[in-house]
Amino acid sequence: MNWWQKLTKNPLARFGALLLLTFYLIVIAADVVAPYDPYVSQPDGSLLPPTKIYWRNQQTKEFIGPHVYPTTQGPTDLETGDRKLIVDWQKPSPVGLFVPGREYKLFGAIPFNRHLFGTVGEGKINLLGTDEQARDQFSRLVYGGRISLSIGLVGIAISFPLGLIIGGISGYFGGWVDGIIMRLVEVLMTIPGIYLLVALAAVLPPGLTSAQRFLLIVLITSFISWSGLARVIRGQVLSIKEREFVQAAKTMGANPFYIIVRHVLPQTASYVIISATLAVPGFIVAESVLSLIGLGIQQPDPSWGNLLSLATNASIIVLQPWLIWPPALLIILTVLAFNLLGDGLRDALDPRSLQR
């Protein structure tokens, strides 16, 4: 049984892979999936609860299919603190699929204005309600996933090649080269990651854009995450460099760096694939923590971390819980899915299991 067959027969790994595939497809197609612009506020629509979908006209009781009604926030009750909703029962707005809405560029080039779902009329469908700025929370969650899900992929694209090359050089050459590199690795491994992130993010210039902050967060997390991989790769290279095919390449006069890249590092591929899968959640959590405490991606740009930052407001936790649970649940599910997929890959690529 090869590793692919073993992986596909693992139900937890399949679940993790399917969940990740779904999330990435949704955020890639965010322009289509999100019904509204994540930056645009709705008139008098601050902190609206999730929209209720009706099937019968609430005045005539006639069945007219799924529809919603225009809803705005009314005045606050001074005695109870409750905010009353004003619903216009005279204007039912049908809910449909692929309805026209705001225009965007499909594939970055083709003007298009169809969205996966939406309404026809004045009513808005806010599946997860609206935030304090009256912006659709579902649309912000979908667009925010672009940052939160891509930061892990960009992070391993930077840190893993660095860890592979440095670990390979250290293990292959040995001697004083190995001694210097390993001392540097040990120093980096003693640095507590989250505290370094907080300290460095706190001294960033206040005028940085979210794109610049995104890049700096990735660079900082990559800087402190490659050392563990380099240490493990170094240990594997120490044993791989003594094998016959490596000695044969040396005898034929191959360049040491060619031997490392062409013959030695490919032998560590299974470990690297597993480690990469398990490392992505760390980058996602780091971005979420920094954004949660106000040092990461800043408003109005959405990310799962800064959407979760509303949890610092106790009144929102109590009165508007729909703003807190979706981003928290998505972060938990994404981390869980990567871990399940990583565990499945580890079992599937285990040399002992491949021999069965």
Residue-wise pLDDT tens for the chain (356 aa)? 577 788 788 888 899 999 999 999 999 999 999 999 999 998 888 888 899 999 998 888 889 899 999 988 877 665 655 678 888 888 899 999 999 888 888 877 888 888 999 999 888 999 998 888 889 999 999 999 988 888 888 888 888 888 888 888 888 888 888 889 888 888 888 877 667 766 766 677 777 777 777 777 777 777 777 888 888 888 888 888 888 888 888 888 888 888 888 888 888 877 888 888 878 888 888 777 777 776 777 788 888 888 887 766 656 667 778 888 898 899 899 989 988 888 888 877 765 554 44
Point out which residues pair with 106 in neighbouring strands.
110
- pLDDT at site 354: 46
- pLDDT at site 4: 75
105 in a structural domain:
yes
288 and 337, same domain (yes or no): yes
- pLDDT at site 94: 93
147 and 112, same domain (yes or no): no
Point out which residues pair with 68 in neighbouring strands.
93
End-to-end Cα, the chain, rounded Å: 7
208 and 182, same domain (yes or no): yes
Look at residues 74, 96, 124 and tell me which one is the last residue of a structural domain: 124
Residue ranges of E strands in 20-120 = 54-56, 63-68, 71-76, 83-87, 93-106, 110-119
265 in a structural domain:
yes
251 and 198, same domain (yes or no): yes
184 and 314, same domain (yes or no): yes
293 and 223, same domain (yes or no): yes
166 and 97, same domain (yes or no): no
pLDDT tens digits, one per residue of 289-321:
777 776 777 788 888 888 887 766 656 667 778
- pLDDT at site 202: 67
225 and 335, same domain (yes or no): yes
109 and 192, same domain (yes or no): no
- Is the distance from CB of 86 to CB of 79 less than 8 angstroms? no
Look at residues 94, 124, 154 and tell me which one is the last residue of a structural domain: 124
Instruction: Give the type of residue at 190.
Output: T
9 in a structural domain:
no
131 in a structural domain:
no
Question: How many helices (H) and strands (E) are present in the chain, helices listed first?
Answer: 14, 6
Q: How far, in Å, CA of 270 to CA of 346, rounded? A: 8
- Is the distance from CB of 86 to CB of 43 less than 8 angstroms? no
- pLDDT at site 20: 93
- How far lies 201's CA from each of 66, 96, 142, 241, in Å? 47, 44, 25, 41
Q: Tokens for 296?
A: 């990461």
62 and 188, same domain (yes or no): no
How many distinct structural domains can be found in the chain? 2
> How many residues make up the chain in this entry?
356
Instruction: Give the type of residue at 137.
Output: Q
341 in a structural domain:
yes
pLDDT tens digits, one per residue of 70-98:
988 877 665 655 678 888 888 899 999 99
Domain that holds residue 57: 50-124
- How far lies 51's CA from each of 66, 119, 122, 136, in Å? 12, 12, 13, 11
240 and 330, same domain (yes or no): yes
If DSSP codes are grouped into helix, strand and coil, which group holds residue 72?
strand
CATH of the domain at 146: 1.10.3720.10
172 and 256, same domain (yes or no): yes
26 in a structural domain:
no
Look at residues 124, 148, 166 and tell me which one is the last residue of a structural domain: 124
